[in-house]
Amino acid sequence: MDIIIADDHPLTLQGTQAFVESYGHHVVGTCANGVSALNMIQLRLPHVAILDINMPAMDGLDVTKKIKELKLKTKVILLTMHKELMLYNKAREFGAYGYILKEHAQDELKKCLEEVEKGNQYVSDSLLKDLISVRETGTSELDKLTFSERKIVELIAQQKTSKQIAEMLFLSEKTIEGHRTNIIEKLGLPKEKNTLLKWAMKNGLDR
């Protein structure tokens, strides 16, 4: 199969490419962000796109959603470090064929590609166990936020300013400030100075 790979971590990108090529597939392009990935997918029309979920400009879910909207035939496999039920449900909604945790990618990517080539969907067993446990223990405060909002909160936890976050996510500072306001309302936080930073650090997002 012709495959495009997108990941903003160079070592992960190179490693994934090496694995995919060792399985006999042809990597027709690699890129480091979602916008480049979508452009390349539209240009090359690969059989499969292997996308990191957490990327600048457009994340893997955004690209997957756009592929569905454009009715492209490229099948998406998402690689992620996230185990949240909300993200998995979004991936299913947007038509992703594969959903694999990065920590198990070396073991499961080959099997996933085999299943996707047959037209089947693939979700790693380890992830399904985690998702079931999440269902049983209920939702967290973070489940109230969109993936983009989570990224912003994580960057706030790293004590990044709105201007720095805007530059990192290729958005305007005004947009980031708008997201901050929405996040504070969703979480029901007091409207005081550094309220989001305090909440993020309290919930361990600075680690």
Residue ranges of domains in the chain: 2-137, 141-202
Residues 179-194 pLDDT 10s: 888 888 888 888 788 8
- Assign a CATH topology to domain 2-137: Rossmann fold (3.40.50)
| pLDDT score recorded for residue 145 | 77
**How confident is residue 203, by pLDDT bands cut at 50, 70 and 90?**
low
CA distance 197 to 188: 14
Q: Is the pTM of this model over 0.75?
A: no
List b or e across 68-98, with b for residues whose CB sees 16 or more CB atoms inside 10 angstroms: eeeebebbbbbbbeeebbbbbebbeebebbb
pLDDT, average across residues 37-42: 94
Residues 9-31 pLDDT 10s: 888 889 889 999 999 999 999 99
| pLDDT score recorded for residue 42 | 95
Residue 58 predicted with pLDDT over 50: yes
CA distance 11 to 8: 9
| pLDDT score recorded for residue 193 | 81
| pLDDT score recorded for residue 131 | 58
Q: In the CATH hierarchy, which top-level class contains the domain 141-202?
A: mainly alpha
Q: How far is CA 61 from CA 17, 76, 89, 96, 166, in A?
A: 20, 10, 11, 9, 19
| pLDDT score recorded for residue 57 | 76
Q: Could you tell me what percentage of the chain is helix, strand and coil, using 3-state DSSP and rounding each to the nearest 5?
A: 55, 15, 30
| pLDDT score recorded for residue 135 | 44
Determine contact, residues 54/38, Cβ cutoff 8 Å: no
Residues 129-182 pLDDT 10s: 655 544 443 446 676 777 778 888 888 888 888 888 888 877 888 888 888 888
Find the length of the chain: 207
State which amino acid sits at residue 116. Answer: V
**Contacts by 118-126, CB closer than 8 A, 24 or more apart:** 121/96, 121/97, 122/77, 122/97, 122/98, 123/88, 123/98, 123/99, 124/99, 124/100, 126/101
Residues 89-125 pLDDT 10s: 888 889 999 998 887 777 788 889 999 999 898 887 7
Output the furthest CA–CA distance in the chain (Å, rounded). Answer: 56
| DSSP summary character for residue 161 | -
Spatial neighbors of 190 by CB under 8 A, at least 6 apart, are none
| pLDDT score recorded for residue 30 | 94
| pLDDT score recorded for residue 204 | 62
